[in-house]
Structure 1
Amino acid sequence: MKQDAELWDLVIVGGGMTGALLALALRSLTPAKIALVEAQTVSSQHPGFDARSIALSRGSVEQLKRWHLWSNLAPNATAIADIHVSDRGHFGMTHLAAAQFGCDSFGHVLGLEDAGRQLQQALINAEIDFFCPDHVTALISHSDYQEVTLDSGRRLRGRLLVAADGAQSFVRQSLKLESEHIDFNQSAVIANVILDRPHAGRAFERFTEHGPLALLPMAQGDGKCMSLVWAMKADEQARYLALSDGDFLHALQGAFGYRAGKLTKVSQRHGYPLIMSVMPRPIYHRCVFVGNAAQTLHPIAGQGFNLGLRDIATLVQVLTPVLNRGQDAGASEVTHDYLAHRRQDRQATLTAIESLVRGFSNQAFPLVLGRNLGLRLLSWCPPLKRPIVSAASGWPLRRLS
């Protein structure tokens, strides 16, 4: 028999990085009554806390410090001190060093599985009603609240429902809300690789004939481990996933070169389709969509989670005074305020990422020539690097009025 539904200020669906950080940030700043629903405990099979890594910009790290949440993540993070960008088989190449710009790093690389354990423990310790493992099976909209029914039979009523449940958002599908898709005809091979020497905090982006290839420094393996994301056509991905470890390392070394050293070992490889999906309007009646539930990006510039973190930073800014005054978190003016303050940054980021993918995944001669001239110009004229570094590592979050 179902229990009577309780009323929360917020019900957050999805306890991955985005949902967990939102709950913890709001709980530290407001007296809000918060419920968080997460389907899985942390393991390598958790879709939000699996063996992958994410890149956190310097601005994202600073925001997490302001919320006093960075200490939960820092032990599993590796600083990016240098970035090397090159185009295989062409003359385009540039190098960015954080020290040249008066900072100790451009950001950090975060291992998701270990970070997930830290965040789920923080949720348990905080005054947050954490329903895990449990998942939403039904959703009903009411005039004054959203009601979700959990697989356990529990019913939760939230004045504001926050969907942080990923690219295949159950909330979005239940409400039959529109999401636009851009298929780049690419998939990614994702794995961890071991080098024969320490990476020294260097990150690499290399544009190959197959697609963009990124190697990001990780703390594991005595500083010799790097996280690989290699975008390529879907049929090529199937072939590379089927290779033996030795043959895969040989192919990867051939595409990447030896600037990071010799590749000696590769972990289990995983494949992910690369489709940009965007909700044109990531709000609904008493409902806000954040992170991958609102938009998913191509990993070419490592901006997906950073954009999602700016989603929740804006939501925290909008909600904090509302919740501290004891007002309705799901009121129409609240959700529309959030939408208005996300529009510019969100659209600019989506446009930039689409342009990068089309420009750097194309082997047409004019585009190859243009991007190589651009990379070489950055090397020849260092002052041109500053606005690029500022945009990539900064925090373009508009101040709320």
Structure 2
Amino acid sequence: MTSTDILIVGAGPVGMALALAVHGGPHRVTLVDARERGAARRDPRVLALAHGTRLTLERLGVWGRLPATPIRRIHVSQQGGAGRTVIEEDEYGIDGLGHVIRAGDLAAALDDAVAHAGIAVLDHCEAAPDPGLPGRVRLTRGDTVDTLSCRLVACAEGGMRADDPDIEVRDYDQHAVICMATPAQAHGHTAYERFTPSGPVALLPCGTDFAVVHTAPPERAETLLALDDAAYLATLQQAFGTRLRLVGVSRRERFPLQLRVRRHPVADRIVWLGNAAQTLHPVAGQGFNLALRDVWALGEQLRGADDPGSPAVLAAYLRQRALDRRGTIGFTDSLVRLFSNDIGPLRHLRGLGLLALDLAPPLRHFVAKRMMFGARAWP
């Protein structure tokens, strides 16, 4: 039987960030992943990183290696209705309201940092915590099976089975179609969020192009995938009207969208983070940002703990993160349900809400700061 102090299951960005957050403290850390080393470098998704996430990545020593595109202005509107709001970075005295980065680039920077730190990584290895023996994990690597003993298991990926009674699931009946789009003129570091009757559509500045996140019902998403580039470009252009002009799109992919929430993200010597704890709709781009806030808070608790898996340590982490987790999940879910329909009274109400954000700076600042720093942000 082998042993470590903290076993992190999942060597994606969340798992590697946690390993770096705990590294240098009193506990031995081991990462384990079912894929080959560096598989996350091929992740095709694009992430919108909040300003608070940038600060966390700076603390982890990887921010300076990232080819990130700053968001200096956010334009929010709805199709077929009045009302819009604009958020500018100058109102907050920061370099970027957020940043956009390819998930594969983030994984590469974290993987390089993990290697430089000498953190142990077991790849091609399946890890299964023993529900009857807290702190025991069955490791399967090819034909070899071993048992590992640890004081804390941190599950950073997967395991959100729909038949698990601890998992709350809401199917939004939407898929996300993702691609890159080329603007006719420089994007000026402006991000666009456009609410349409079938779902939100986001354009995020990424390099010189826009990353597109186009949500739609499954049948509509299938149709969007089947369109040739010219036809899809025309559809995307119609969603945004004349406020900008697009001249090209890349190959498209799609992903189903659900809300999945683990009601109890800690148990006896085990904690769940990232998409092992919750998966959110991409509207407002809060999923990864919430995960990084969880990572940093847990890292702080573990670095100062004699026993990283003790009930007191995990309870303190849970208390610290409860408000932000509950608030971010609720905010994201409410946005989807409020803005992904074409009901007349709601359309007018949405327009009034966007207008209020535009005309009332305190209200706009309240929303913006929570987007940047989470639900615990001070007004």
Q: TM-score, normalization: structure 1?
A: 0.88
Deviates more, 1:78-87 or 1:189-198: 189-198
Match of 1:291 in 2: 274
Give the SS at the match of 2:150: strand
Distance 2:185 2:96 in 1: 20
CA contact (8 A) 2:72 2:97 kept: yes
The residue that corresponds to 2:205 in the other structure is 217
Paired AA for residue 27 in structure 2: A
Change (3 A) 1:33 1:42: closer
> Aligned letter for 1:197?
Q
Report the equivalent of 2:226: 242
1:137 and 1:163 map into 2 onto residues whose CA distance is 10
1:303 equivalent in alignment to 2:286: yes
Query: Which residue does 1:336 correspond to in 2?
Result: 315
Indicate the percent of aligned positions where both proteins have the same amino acid. 36
Could you say which residue in structure 2 is the equivalent of 1:25? Answer: 21
- After TM superposition, the structure 1 stretch with the greater mean CA deviation from structure 2, 100-109 or 364-373, is 100-109
1:110 corresponds in structure 2 to 101
Q: CA deviation at 1:97?
A: 1.0
Paired residue type of 1:136: E
* 8 Å Cα contact 2:77/2:195 also seen in 1: yes
Retained in 2: the 8 A contact 1:27–1:127?
Answer: no
Q: Secondary structure at the match of 1:315?
A: helix
* Alpha-carbon separation, structure 1, partners of 2:56 and 2:233: 37
1:321 matched residue in structure 2: 304
Structure 1 contact 82–96 (Cα < 8 Å) conserved? yes
Pick closer, same or farther for the CA change 1:245–1:374 going to 2, 3 Å.
same
| 1:187 correspondence with 2:179 | no
Q: Is contact 1:52–1:227 with CA below 8 Å preserved after alignment?
A: no
Within-5 A mapping of 1:307-386: 307-322=290-305, 327-386=306-365
Deviation at 1:87, TM superposition (A): 0.8
Report the counterpart of residue 5 of structure 2 in structure 1: 9
1:139 aligns with 2:132: no
- Greater shift, 262-271 or 151-160, is seen at 151-160
* Structure 1 match to 2:87: 96
Contact 1:146–1:160 (8 Å) recurs in 2: no
Aligned partner of 2:60 in structure 1 is 67
Name the counterpart of 1:50. 43
The alpha-carbon deviation at position 176 of structure 1 amounts to: 5.5
Q: How many Å separate the matches in 2 of 1:141 and 1:159?
A: 14
AA at the equivalent of 2:190 = R
CA distance in 2, matches of 1:139, 1:186: 33
Q: Using the TM superposition, give the Cα deviation of residue 278 of structure 1 relative to its aligned residue in structure 2, in angstroms.
A: 0.4
Alpha-carbon distance in structure 1 between the residues aligned to 2:328 and 2:134: 34
Give 2:186's aligned residue: 198
- Aligned residue for 1:377, secondary structure, equals helix
Q: Identify the range of structure 1 (363-372 vs 390-399) with the bigger mean alpha-carbon deviation.
A: 390-399
Q: Which residue of 2 aligns with 1:178?
A: 166
Separation of aligned partners in 2, 1:382 and 1:235: 40
Q: Partner of 2:212: helix, strand, or coil?
A: strand
1:259 Cα deviation (Å)? 2.1
- What is the SS of the residue equivalent to 1:76? coil
Structure 2's unaligned 5+ residue stretches are none
3-state secondary structure, aligned to 1:65: helix
- Which aligned segments of 4 or more residues in structure 1 are displaced greater than 4 angstroms? 46-49, 141-144, 395-399
CA distance in 1, matches of 2:300, 2:377: 11
Report the Cα distance in structure 1 between the residues aligned to 2:132 and 2:171, rounded to whole angstroms: 35
Of 78, 82, 99, 2:73 maps to 82
2:290 is paired with a residue of what secondary structure? helix
> 2:370–2:376: 8 Å Cα contact kept in structure 1?
no
- Secondary structure of 2:336's match? helix
- 26, 34, 53: which one aligns with 2:29: 34
Gaps of 5+ in 1: none
Residue identity matched to 2:170: I
Greater Cα offset, 85-94 or 269-278: 85-94
Does structure 2 retain, via aligned residues, the 8 Å contact 1:138–1:149? yes
Q: How far, CA to CA, are the matches of 2:372 and 2:309 in structure 1?
A: 32
**Does structure 2 retain, via aligned residues, the 8 Å contact 1:140–1:146?**
yes
How far 1:48 moved relative to its partner?
A: 7.8
Residue pair 2:196, 2:341 contacting (<8 A) in 1 also: no
Q: C-alpha separation between the residues in 2 aligned to 1:253 and 1:229?
A: 14
* Aligned-residue offset at 1:397: 5.0
Relative distance call for 1:53 and 1:42 in structure 2 (3 A) is farther
CA displacement at 1:154 relative to structure 2: 5.6
- Partner SS, residue 166 of structure 2: coil
Corresponding residue for residue 394 of structure 1 = 373
CA RMSD in angstroms, aligned pairs only: 2.3
